[in-house]
Amino acid sequence: MGITYDVVHRTEYRYGAPVSLSQQLLHLAPRDTPRQARLAHALVVDPAPSRRVDGADAFGNPLTRLDFDRPHEALVITARLRVRVEAGDPLDPLTSPAWEDVVAALAYRGGEVLDEAHLEAMRYRVESPYVRIKTVFADYARPCFTPGRPLLDAAQALMQAIHTDFTYSPEATQIATPLLDVFEKRHGVCQDFAHVMLACLRSLGLSARYVSGYLRTTPVEGKPRLVGADASHAWVSVFCPRQGWVDFDPTNRVVPSLQHVTLAAGRDFGDVSPLRGVILGGGAHELEVAVVVTPVDPADT
């Protein structure tokens, strides 16, 4: 079972003064995953860049580099993509190994040769710019990670705890808000929820990565619409030796499936921001972002 989606992601900057030079990095092309295939992708940029380079970043995500060497007072970037998302196999958390065994498998031992999957996972078990490793995060997660509990069962319990204890509040934080402040105030947005869960998992010695993407839902009658629908969204992916990378969405307390479209994965938001860069000039600026996620097959609407 699967759904094909068309996604339009439009970003517009309006500057108070002309920008003479600009360099931008874009994570606006979706990566392929075991449950997602990119069918089409197009990028429209106004004004046209003086140079464009398409490639991949250090984490295997599609990356576009744009250079602008002519003065401009606005920048509009529209990404149009089509992806096919499959439901994947049902998650059975109880079949995963004990979380302590996974921690042990990810620990470095001199002279030991690890396979490619474990080597890749190890880069996501250390501190990163937006995700701290602290005892306070391990202590918060500890009631979910009882001795011998299967990893994915414990991760699911942690997801549920964060969803219960934290309040979604768009005005409460900015991306630069320290994670310890978010943790203390228990308010934030999807990026904060994901960063808190990452900090908890990594503080226990586990590997987990930040996933950016989109969420589209048509709620069942009488049930609320998922938070983050039809906008940029973020969730967490946990490495489990038997099942591979398994996603959890603490903002909505769901295991991502047909409703989640993946863009990129990294250590935290800073690695996979949809658009970031440097400019010379510009003064104050205004930013508008709009996302529309539409099922292609009318039977799925």
Q: 257-299, pLDDT tens digit by residue?
A: 999 999 999 999 999 999 999 999 988 889 999 898 989 865 5
Question: Using 50, 70 and 90 to split pLDDT, how confident is the model at 228?
Answer: very low
Confidence of residue 128 (pLDDT cuts 50, 70, 90): very high
| Segment 232-242 mean pLDDT | 94
Question: What's the pLDDT at 170?
Answer: 87
Inform me whether the pLDDT recorded for 240 exceeds 60: yes
Of residues 174 and 15, which shows the higher confidence score?
15
Let me know: does 239 contact 208? Beta carbons within 8 Å. Answer: yes
Domains assigned to the chain: 2-86+273-300 (2.60.40.2250), 93-256 (3.10.620.30)
Axis crossing angle, helix 151-165 with helix 99-106, rounded to the nearest 10 = 100
The mean pLDDT value for 22-27 works out to 97
Q: What is the pLDDT of residue 173?
A: 87
Say what the pTM is. 0.91
pLDDT class for 56, splitting at 50, 70, 90? very high
Encoding tokens for residue 122?
């190890």
243-269: average pLDDT? 95
151-202: pLDDT as tens digits: 999 999 999 999 999 999 988 888 889 999 999 999 999 999 999 999 999 9
Return the pLDDT at 282.
85
The percent of residues above 90 in pLDDT, for the chain, comes to 80
Q: How many C-beta neighbours within 10 Å does residue 115 have?
A: 9
Reported as half-sphere exposure (CB side, CA atoms, 13 A), residue 73 has a value of 2
pLDDT at position 223: 57
